[in-house]
């Protein structure tokens, strides 16, 4: 789904939290025809939205740079004017993008619980439709403000995410798409099906980046307009979806659960306010007693705050490469494809193979396997950030990006590890708590690292790479915590290991 890395990381939490129902065998292991159709439509929707959003990443940066450059230099022409690489222009662009990143998060943060309640009461499809409308209007409003930059201030783009209060933005849309798929997928195939959706998102990024770069060579507005059109066309697929709130497949949902859910929906006293109060009370009690009460889980949670702060450096990668190595925005756009390829190879090949080797050759339990993957991943993230920061040439920066991409596995491995360290009925609250910390980290990261980039540009020299130096230090802090944790895992625990611990 559109938007930053943090959104895709949120979907992983949902994937790992879903297998909480009783496992059934037999017919529940088989996809129904209707279920396959729903999954196909959702996959198409995800790919279209990611292509549409991905097409606009590099050109939107270029357009904002042009507008800011014209404010500083009134005689600016719509060409690759080298004055646009002026430190003042680039510093303003970095700060603007940093605050845009924050404002994109806020609608989902404020409305997720509300729209979750409404989706359970009135259905997934209608709420997803409203969410998609809000997302598309956000992109359209951004384009209109930039098109009429002589009339509107570029800082007005910070207000465009307000339209996503209608539907909750990409956070709610992503959650609903995964919920719809979880409604129709057989329980034994649910994790695999959700992973396919995640892979579809990466494929969308992989396709969008080179397409955007090619189109930008003709006109910077072509990928913007085309991206919005693709998002609109892809969203029309929602009219093909059946409502899955009460979707039933043979043996999929236990009778007692159906009865409970039905009674909950029909209970006239189940108001939004009472649900918020009850959920908040249960959340606080579980967090204090069962999550923060375990020192190892609490420390792993803390590392997610460090890594979510450090991961924002990825958002500055395009601007950093155009400034330091004098690339065009079209050339820098190919870095998005490189990042998508690295993530796809890591998640589909390297991590599964490494996990299998650790279990089969070194006789590690699933918990120990996750622990060592997490340790390795966060170190790679730190090394990658430092390689980017100290790179004197573009090939070394590309090497740093590849290594830094390995740090993205940390979120998956850590969630799988933490899931094996708490009671199964506390996994949902565990992931909600981690999502809250990561959201907090993302909100702090936008203005913090953007301001550090502006400061680094003023200082010059190696300090131009200040955001990546900070990212490397943040990952290093997280690595010191992870490597200081001692999680003793006996071989006999292999049989008792929670299934969630081997989900990656």
Backbone conformation region of residue 26, classed left if phi is above 0, alpha if psi is from -120 to 50, else beta: left
Q: Is the pLDDT of residue 434 over 90?
A: no
Same domain, 402 and 456: yes
Question: For a pLDDT cut of 90, what percent of the chain falls above it?
Answer: 43
pLDDT tens-digit readout, 297-336: 888 988 999 999 999 999 899 999 999 998 989 899 899 8
pLDDT band at residue 500 using 50, 70 and 90 as cut-offs: very low
Q: Is the pLDDT of residue 95 over 60?
A: yes
**Listed range (184-193, 197-206, 350-359) with the worst mean pLDDT:** 184-193
Same domain, 193 and 250: yes
As a whole number, mean pLDDT of residues 288-300 equals: 73
Question: What's the token pair of residue 110?
Answer: 């404020």
Question: Mean pLDDT highest for which of 105-119, 185-199, 271-285?
Answer: 105-119
User: Is residue 504 domain-resident?
Assistant: no
**Domain boundary at 250, 269, 288, which?**
269
Q: How many CB atoms lie within 10 A of CB 87?
A: 15
Same domain, 251 and 304: no
**Mean pLDDT over each residue of the chain, to the nearest integer:** 81
Residue 98 has a pLDDT of: 93
Same domain, 380 and 238: no
Q: How far apart are CA 412 and CA 12, in angstroms?
A: 7
Q: How far apart are CA 388 and CA 410, in angstroms?
A: 19
Residue 232 has a pLDDT of: 96
User: Is residue 503 domain-resident?
Assistant: no
pLDDT band at residue 1 using 50, 70 and 90 as cut-offs: low
Burial of residue 266 (number of CB atoms within 10 Å: 0-12, 13-18, 19+) = exposed
User: Is residue 152 domain-resident?
Assistant: yes
**Domain boundary at 233, 249, 269, which?**
269
Q: How far apart are CA 268 and CA 277, in angstroms?
A: 16
Burial of residue 214 (number of CB atoms within 10 Å: 0-12, 13-18, 19+) = middle
Question: What's the token pair of residue 86?
Answer: 């002026």
Same domain, 102 and 17: yes
Residue 301 has a pLDDT of: 87
pLDDT tens-digit readout, 122-151: 888 999 999 999 999 999 999 999 999 999
pLDDT band at residue 502 using 50, 70 and 90 as cut-offs: very low
> Tell me, what DSSP letter sits at residue 346?
I
pLDDT tens-digit readout, 445-474: 999 999 999 999 999 889 999 999 999 999
Same domain, 279 and 249: no
As a whole number, mean pLDDT of residues 282-286 equals: 58
Residue 114 has a pLDDT of: 85
Phi and psi at residue 447, in whole multiples of 5°? -70, -30
Higher pLDDT, 22 or 238: 238
Q: How far apart are CA 147 and CA 51, in angstroms?
A: 22
Percentage helix, strand, coil for the chain under 3-state DSSP, each rounded to 5: 80, 0, 20
Q: How far apart are CA 14 and CA 16, in angstroms?
A: 5
User: Is residue 233 domain-resident?
Assistant: yes
**Domain boundary at 247, 269, 291, which?**
269
Q: How many CB atoms lie within 10 A of CB 64?
A: 21
Question: What's the token pair of residue 422?
Answer: 């708490």
Q: Is the pLDDT of residue 281 over 70?
A: no
Same domain, 229 and 174: yes
User: Is residue 232 domain-resident?
Assistant: yes
CATH classification at residue 297: 1.20.1250.20
Higher pLDDT, 19 or 367: 367
Residue 286 has a pLDDT of: 56
User: Is residue 502 domain-resident?
Assistant: no
Residue 15 has a pLDDT of: 43
pLDDT band at residue 495 using 50, 70 and 90 as cut-offs: very low
Residue 14 has a pLDDT of: 43
Same domain, 376 and 310: yes
The domain in which residue 412 lies consists of 271-493
Q: Is the pLDDT of residue 42 over 50?
A: yes
**Count: domains in the chain:** 2
Q: Is the pLDDT of residue 23 over 90?
A: no
> Tell me, what DSSP letter sits at residue 243?
P
Same domain, 256 and 294: no
Q: How far apart are CA 435 and CA 420, in angstroms?
A: 17
Residue 293 has a pLDDT of: 63
Q: How far apart are CA 456 and CA 462, in angstroms?
A: 8
Q: How many residues does the chain have?
A: 504
Q: How far apart are CA 502 and CA 490, in angstroms?
A: 16
**Listed range (13-22, 37-46, 108-117, 224-233) with the worst mean pLDDT:** 13-22
User: Is residue 126 domain-resident?
Assistant: yes
Question: How far, in whole angstroms, is CA 34 from its chain's centroid?
Answer: 28
pLDDT band at residue 176 using 50, 70 and 90 as cut-offs: confident
The CA dihedral of 183, 185, 191, 197, to the nearest 10 degrees, is -90
Residue 264 has a pLDDT of: 45
User: Is residue 355 domain-resident?
Assistant: yes
Helix axis angle, 124-147 relative to 33-55, nearest 10°?
10
Same domain, 371 and 338: yes
Residue 303 has a pLDDT of: 93
Same domain, 456 and 321: yes
């Amino acid at each position: 789904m559109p938007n930053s890395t943090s959104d895709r990381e949120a979907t992983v939490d949902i994937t790992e939290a879903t297998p909480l129902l009783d496992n059934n065998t037999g017919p529940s292991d088989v996809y129904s025809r209707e279920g396959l159709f729903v999954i196909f439509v959702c996959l198409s929707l995800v790919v279209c939205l990611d292509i549409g959003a991905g097409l606009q990443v590099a050109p939107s940066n270029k357009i904002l740079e042009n507008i800011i450059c014209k404010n500083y230099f009134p005689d600016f022409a719509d060409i690759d004017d080298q004055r646009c690489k002026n430190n003042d222009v680039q510093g303003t662009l970095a700060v603007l993008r940093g605050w845009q990143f924050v404002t994109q998060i806020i609608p989902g943060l404020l409305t997720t619980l509300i729209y979750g309640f409404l989706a359970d009461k009135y259905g997934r499809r209608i709420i997803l439709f409203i969410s998609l409308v809000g997302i598309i209007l956000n992109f359209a409003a951004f384009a209109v403000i930039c098109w009429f930059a002589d009339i509107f201030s570029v800082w007005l783009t910070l207000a465009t995410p307000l339209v996503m209060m209608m539907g909750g933005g990409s956070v709610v849309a992503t959650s609903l798409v995964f919920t719809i798929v979880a409604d129709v997928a057989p329980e034994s195939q649910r994790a695999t099906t959700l992973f396919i959706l995640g892979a579809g998102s990466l494929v969308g990024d992989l396709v969008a980046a080179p397409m955007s770069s090619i189109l930008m060579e003709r006109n910077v507005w072509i990928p913007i307009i085309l991206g919005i059109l693709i998002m609109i066309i892809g969203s029309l697929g929602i009219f093909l979806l059946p409502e899955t709130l009460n979707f039933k497949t043979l043996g999929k949902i236990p009778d007692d659960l159906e009865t409970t859910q039905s009674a909950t929906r029909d209970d006239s006293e189940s108001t939004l306010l009472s649900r918020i109060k009850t959920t908040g009370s249960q959340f606080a009690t579980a967090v204090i007693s069962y999550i923060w009460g375990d020192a190892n889980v609490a420390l792993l949670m803390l590392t997610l705050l460090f890594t979510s702060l450090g991961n924002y450096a990825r958002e500055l990668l395009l601007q950093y490469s155009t400034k330091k190595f004098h690339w065009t925005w079209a050339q820098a756009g190919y870095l998005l494809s490189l990042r998508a390829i690295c993530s796809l190879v890591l998640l589909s090949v390297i991590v599964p193979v490494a996990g299998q080797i650790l279990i089969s050759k070194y006789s590690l339990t699933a918990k120990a396997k996750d622990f060592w993957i997490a340790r390795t991943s966060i170190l790679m993230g730190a090394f990658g950030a430092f390689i980017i920061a100290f790179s004197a040439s573009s090939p070394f920066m590309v090497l740093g990006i590849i290594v830094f991409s390995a740090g993205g596995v940390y979120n998956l491995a850590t969630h799988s590890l933490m899931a094996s360290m708490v009671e199964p009925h506390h996994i949902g609250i565990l992931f909600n708590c981690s999502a809250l910390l990561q959201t907090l980290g993302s909100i702090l990261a936008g203005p913090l690292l953007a301001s550090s980039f502006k400061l680094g540009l003023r200082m010059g020299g190696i300090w131009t790479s200040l955001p990546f130096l900070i990212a490397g230090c943040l990952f290093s802090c997280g690595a010191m915590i992870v490597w200081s944790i001692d999680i003793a895992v006996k071989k006999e625990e292999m049989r008792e290991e929670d299934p969630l611990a081997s989900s990656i």
